[in-house]
């Protein structure tokens, strides 16, 4: 097993832009393993995995968006919209929960269509289009129940986030890993994925090379919306409730994870492997600071310093 996976691992690690952050992650883990008793335990590692599911799933969609040189500020709100649609359909309308989940994903994907069309068809900069969508999706999410939370889902729903199959893998973590894997395969091994790099590198060159830039752009926002919706469902399972205020300012966390992972905001470079590193850095950092018992305000300062260091290290390494 180890032998076979080594080249793939190497390919993962060699991904441009993520080496510095990866070193940062390793150092961080090493430090925490020494400084705390509880960090380097199976149980805590599994906790960390649990804790990054929502961020991880959204970060994959965000990676696509940022790769083509765009940005998606709406993910936090779309997450809330998705979970509210799911909760409303299942608990107020009596729709079976699986079907309600599908509808929630469709609604979330639809927000991506709107953002994408605003960007490609109306020439609205991605920042503004998704900022507008952020406000709209949050408003609609709130209107569904007039700001109230919804509780009372079937027991199996919450259990998806709790039961660790085979002793370690909850369904929600499994979903995240599948999303990581699919995203990685897509970017590395399909022409569609390569097209995103071309678009991000130079949209005009991509267009002249016969790539349908508009369609790809809309597609990318749809995927980002869809994954935000999926993250909403996962979060609902974790919390066993849905509330329209969920996901507030998650867009910044998500973008930060992607950028820390070496995907450039100007588009064209980066990838999922880096994003996984970025997500882990944020997850481990938060977890570790809690385990160290660092006071909340000091945590903010430390998080800022570590983020700056991780990215500066990569920039230095390149020189």
Partner 1 sequence: MTSPSQKPILSLEGIRKSYGQLEVLHGIDFDVHAGEVVALLGENGAGKSTVSGIIAGSIQATTGRMEWLGEPFEPASPRQAIDAGIGLIHQELRLLPHLSIAENVFVGRWPTKNGVVDRAKMVRDAQEQLDRLGLKIPATRLVDGLSTAAQQLIEIAKRLALNARLLILDEPTSALGGAETEKLFEQIKRLKAEGVGIIYISHRLEEIARVSDRIVVLRDGEKVNEFDSGDVPVRAIVESMVGRKLGRMFPQIPEPKDEIVLEVEDLSAPTGAFKDVNFDVRKGEIFGIAGLVGAGRTELVRALVGADPISQGRVRLDGEDITPRKPADAIRRGIVLVPEDRKLQGLVLEHSLTENLGYANKRSISAAGIVSKKRLIEFAQDAIKRFGVKGYWHQNADELSGGNQQKLVIAKWLARGPEIVVLDEPTRGIDVGARSSIYDIIVELAERGVGVIVVSSDLEEVLGVSNRILVMSHGRQTGILERNEASEVSVMELATS
Partner 2 sequence: ADEPDKIGLAVANLQANFFNQIKQSVEAYAETKGIEVITVDAKGDSATQVNQVQDLLTQNIDALIYIPAGAAAATVPTRLAHAQGVPVVNVDRNADGEPGDTFIASDSVKSAYNVCKHIFEQAGGEGKMLIVHGQKGTTPEVDRAKGCAEAREEFPGIEVVGEQWSQIWSQDEGFQLTQNMLQAHPDTVIVWGQADALALGAAQAVKVANLPQRIWVAGFDGDTAALEALRDGVFDVTATQQTQYMGRLAVDSAIALVKGEDVPKEQLLEATLTTQDNVGPFIENHP
Q: Is 145 in the site for partner 2 (CB under 8 A)?
A: yes
Cβ atoms 119, 214 nearer than 8 A:
no
Cβ atoms 120, 214 nearer than 8 A:
yes
Window of 116-124, 165-173, 192-200, 268-276 that interacts with a copy of itself by CB under 8 A: 116-124
Cβ nearer to partner 2, comparing 53 with 275:
53
Rounded to 5 degrees, what angle do the CA atoms 71, 311, 291 make?
100
> CA-CA distance, 207 to 310, in Å (whole number)?
35
Window of 79-87, 140-148, 162-170, 191-199 that interacts with a copy of itself by CB under 8 A: 140-148
Q: Is 223 in the site for partner 1 (CB under 8 A)?
A: no
Phi/psi class of residue 150: alpha, beta or left (left: φ > 0; alpha: ψ in -120 to 50)?
beta
Task: Please state whether beta strands 150-151 and 241-242 pair in parallel, antiparallel, or not at all (unpaired).
Answer: antiparallel
Residue with tokens 């969508």: 133
**Torsions phi, psi for 169 (to 5 deg):** -110, 110
Q: Which of the listed partners (a copy of itself, partner 1, partner 2, none) does 197 bind, with a CB threshold of 5 to 8 Å by partner kind?
A: partner 1
Q: Which of the listed partners (partner 2, a copy of itself, partner 1, none) does 239 bind, with a CB threshold of 5 to 8 Å by partner kind?
A: partner 2
CB of 235 vs partner 2, minimal distance in Å? 6
Cβ nearer to partner 2, comparing 156 with 248:
248
Q: Which of 27, 33, 38, 207 binds partner 2 (CB under 8 A)?
A: 38
Cβ atoms 220, 226 nearer than 8 A:
no
Q: Which of 19, 51, 63, 130 binds partner 2 (CB under 8 A)?
A: 51
Alpha helix locations (H) across 68-161? 75-91, 97-121, 126-145, 155-159
Q: Which of 51, 63, 142, 170 binds a copy of itself (CB under 8 A)?
A: 142
Nearest of 79, 75, 101 to residue 90 by alpha carbon: 101
Number of neighbouring beta carbons within 10 Å of residue 274: 28
> DSSP character for 154?
-
End-to-end CA distance of the chain: 36
Q: Is 275 in the site for a copy of itself (CB under 8 A)?
A: no
Which tokens hold the place of 137?
């999706």
Footprint of partner 2 on 161-180 (CB under 8 A): 161-162
Q: Is 135 in the site for partner 2 (CB under 8 A)?
A: no
Q: Which of the listed partners (partner 1, a copy of itself, partner 2, none) does 187 bind, with a CB threshold of 5 to 8 Å by partner kind?
A: none
- In our burial notation (b when 16+ CB lie closer than 10 A, e otherwise), range 238-271 reads bbebbbbebbeebbebbbbbbbbbbbbeebbbbb
Q: Which of 116, 244, 261, 268 binds partner 2 (CB under 8 A)?
A: 244
Q: Is 3 in the site for a copy of itself (CB under 8 A)?
A: no
Task: Provide the binding-site residues for partner 1, judged by CB under 8 A.
Answer: 188-195, 197-198, 201-202, 204-212, 264, 268-269
Task: Provide the binding-site residues for a copy of itself, judged by CB under 8 A.
Answer: 73, 118, 122-125, 127-129, 131-140, 142-143, 146-147, 249, 252, 255-256, 259-260, 264-265, 296-305, 307-308, 311-312, 315-316, 318-319
Task: Provide the binding-site residues for partner 2, judged by CB under 8 A.
Answer: 36, 38, 41, 43-44, 47, 50-51, 54, 142, 145-152, 158, 161-162, 235, 238-241, 243-248, 286-287, 290-291, 293, 295-297, 299
């Amino acid at each position: 097993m180890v032998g076979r996976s080594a080249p793939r691992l190497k390919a993962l690690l060699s991904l441009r832009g993520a080496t510095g952050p990866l070193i940062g992650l390793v150092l961080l883990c090493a430090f925490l393993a020494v400084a705390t008793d509880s960090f380097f335990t199976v149980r805590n590692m599994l906790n960390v995995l649990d804790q990054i599911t929502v961020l991880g799933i959204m970060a994959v969609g965000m990676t696509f968006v940022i790769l083509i040189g765009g940005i998606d500020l709406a993910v936090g709100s779309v997450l809330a919209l998705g979970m509210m649609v799911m909760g409303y359909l299942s608990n107020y309308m009596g729709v079976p929960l699986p079907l309600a989940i599908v509808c929630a994903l469709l609604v979330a994907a639809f927000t991506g269509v709107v953002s994408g069309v605003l960007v490609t068809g109306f020439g609205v900069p991605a920042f503004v289009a998704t900022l507008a969508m952020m406000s709209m999706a949050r408003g609609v999410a709130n209107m569904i129940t007039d700001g109230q939370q919804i509780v009372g889902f079937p027991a199996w729903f919450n259990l998806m986030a709790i039961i660790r199959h085979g002793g370690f893998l909850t369904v929600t973590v499994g979903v995240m890993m599948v999303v990581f894997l699919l995203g990685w395969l897509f970017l590395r091994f399909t022409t569609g994925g390569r097209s995103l790099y071309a678009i991000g590198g130079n949209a005009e060159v991509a267009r002249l090379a016969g790539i349908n830039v508009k369609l790809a752009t809309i597609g990318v926002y749809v995927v980002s919306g869809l994954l935000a919706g999926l993250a909403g469902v996962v979060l609902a399972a974790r919390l066993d409730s849905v509330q329209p205020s969920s996901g507030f300012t998650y867009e910044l966390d998500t973008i930060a994870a992607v950028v820390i992972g070496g995907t450039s905001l100007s588009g064209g470079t980066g990838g999922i492997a880096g994003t996984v590193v970025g997500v882990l850095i944020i997850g481990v950092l938060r977890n570790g600071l809690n385990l160290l018992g660092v006071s909340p305000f000091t945590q903010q300062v430390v998080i800022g310093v570590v983020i700056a260091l991780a990215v500066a290290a990569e920039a230095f390494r390149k020189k």
